[in-house]
Structure 1
Amino acid sequence: MPAPEKPATSVWTRPRRPQREQLTRDQIVTAAVELLDQEGTEALSMRKLGSRLNTAATSLYRHVANRDELIQLVVDDVYGELEPPATAERSQWRAAVTRIAADLRAMTLRHPWIAPELGQVGLVHIGPNAMRMSSRLLAQFEAAGFAADEMDQAMGTLMAYVIGTATSEAAYLSMIARSGKTEQEWVADLRPAFDEASQQHPRLRAGASAQQDTHPQQIRDDAFSYGLARVLDGLTARLNP
């Protein structure tokens, strides 16, 4: 007979232990975010984090049970950087959703390690900051006039676009950072090889030539805005069948 599945656990579902020493959970989370920003998720370990805080790893386990719980905490801490707008009037819902989407993308690009974590579902996103952001976003769709059974789907569609796009961007920018070049330098170095490879593909060549004098970041910003606008066009059409 197969062993019963282990129930899902989360740092948010168990009581917080009383503090018995000077080190706090907030200090641990802050140090973990700094480590992740500098070195990525592969570098995160309780031992390395303890060394960064000048304490033994065992001291960290008084505040977080394991590395998975620590990831839950740091993800929610980064969500705390977002300041979702108050619920908009019906005519302004699209502008409010656009701002939230842009802020979420910017947050992901500031912390590239978080991109894969945002694609996770379940308990990892029931922290207070993530819940506040989701609630504010749902409120915008409610103000727009979406039915109760469609608000979640509308939010899910939007988040899938934003997270998917930001994840690709974060991976691209991380690759460039590892090269030691700026984005402009990296694109300029790649240009001769692209020109040669696209000789037999005039449509690709024409599109790249049209943007040759545009800063790569502006191209990414424009592409994100275009895709976001098309997603919102589709959602708007649901309100005006």
Structure 2
Amino acid sequence: MARDALTREQIVRTAVELLDEDGLEGLNMRSLGKRPGAAATAVYWHVRNKDELVLAAADLAWQEIPLPAHDAAPGHWPPAALALDLHAMFVRHPWLVQAFGSYLFHGPGKARFDDHTLGLYEQAGFAPADADLLAAAVFTYVLGSALGAAATASLERRLGRDGEDPKERVAAALARAAETARGFPRLRARLEQPEAADYAGAPDRTLEAGLDALLSGLEARLAVD
């Protein structure tokens, strides 16, 4: 594809696809250039380097998040819906969760999300300074909740590249972890429960339960204030 026929938007969307498939370690200009049918040198006309590309791809991912209205139905506080949609986006793009350790994300997509989030808390009655703190707390909880899925995706890719069977290797590691855990009373009791899937498995609706506790605490704080 000629340079003038290759747009920045095409490049960024293709980068998201490549990142979803191969993770941060699989993204480079050569592999990206092959996707749209362009040479890596043509990609450089639109993005300077990999770091710029990751930032642009991340900002495109942020734009996927729907923004709930301030006047949500009773029992469905808007920040809860927004937090669940944020978590769903992180699960779709696990590389983004890992990238938080080495990138400072910014751009119109993230700014759109951040601005709307602050608006939800301010509309609920929190002062701007408190809204900033509380929005950050919920964001941190959601990001941490998505870390397990991101780590699993990265591990399975790495094992696959090494020629190993990812599922067998993970199962073996979990078996060893469970054996160690049986030496500790509370962990042993948990593993002996019929519904316990494995040592590393979280109970169903863990995200929702934690989010409910966190947001209920914020609402209670608002009532006191």
TM-score, structure 1 as length reference: 0.76
Distance 1:110 1:209 in 2: 32
CA distance change for structure 1 residues 208 and 76 in 2, over 3 Å: closer, same or farther?
same
Alignment partner of 1:230 is 2:213 = yes
- Residue among 167, 173, 186 paired with 1:181: 167
Aligned position for 1:128 = 108
Q: Pick one of 25, 29, 32 that aligns with 1:42.
A: 25
Structure 1: state its 5+ residue gaps: 1-18
Q: What SS does the corresponding residue of 1:240 show, helix, strand or coil?
A: helix
The alignment covers a number of residue pairs equal to: 217
Q: Are the counterparts in 2 of residues 29 and 74 from structure 1 also a CA contact under 8 Å?
A: yes
Query: 1:161-210 deviations in whole A, cap 9, x for unaligned?
Result: 1112212331034435644439xx956x6675455434432211222333
Amino acid at match of 2:167: K
Is 1:88 aligned to residue 71 of structure 2? yes
Alpha-carbon separation, structure 2, partners of 1:196 and 1:120? 34
Q: 2:57 aligns with which of 74, 86, 96?
A: 74
% identical equivalent positions: 37
Partner SS for 1:62: coil
Structure 2 vs 1, CA of residues 111 and 211 (structure 1 numbering), >3 Å: closer, same or farther?
Answer: farther
Q: State the distance in 1 between where 2:136 and 2:34 align.
A: 39
* 3-state SS of 1:21 partner: helix
After TM superposition, the structure 1 stretch with the greater mean CA deviation from structure 2, 228-237 or 214-223, is 214-223
Q: Unaligned 5+ residue runs, structure 2? A: 160-164
- Kindly indicate whether the alpha-carbon contact (under 8 Å) linking 1:97 and 1:140 is maintained by their aligned counterparts in 2: yes
In the alignment, the residues of structure 2 paired with residue 120 and residue 156 of structure 1 have an alpha-carbon distance, to the nearest angstrom, of 18
Aligned to 1:29: 12
Q: Deviation of residue 213 (structure 1)?
A: 5.6
1:119 is displaced (CA, Å) by: 5.5
Q: Which residue of 1 aligns with 2:79?
A: 97
Structure 1, 77-86 or 52-61: larger mean CA deviation: 52-61
CA distance in 2, matches of 1:137, 1:71: 23
In the TM superposition, residue 36 of structure 1 has moved relative to its aligned partner by: 0.9
| CA RMSD after TM alignment | 3.0
Match of 1:144 in 2: 124
1:4 maps to what in 2? none
Instruction: Output the CA distance in 2 between the equivalents of 1:146 and 1:72.
Output: 31
TM-score, length basis structure 2: 0.81
Q: Which amino acid letter does the alignment assign opposite residue 67 of structure 1?
A: K
Which secondary structure state, in structure 1, belongs to the residue aligned with residue 133 of structure 2?
helix
What CA distance in whole angstroms lies between the structure 2 residues aligned with 1:59 and 1:99? 41
The 3 A distance-change label for structure 1 pair 181 and 20 is: closer
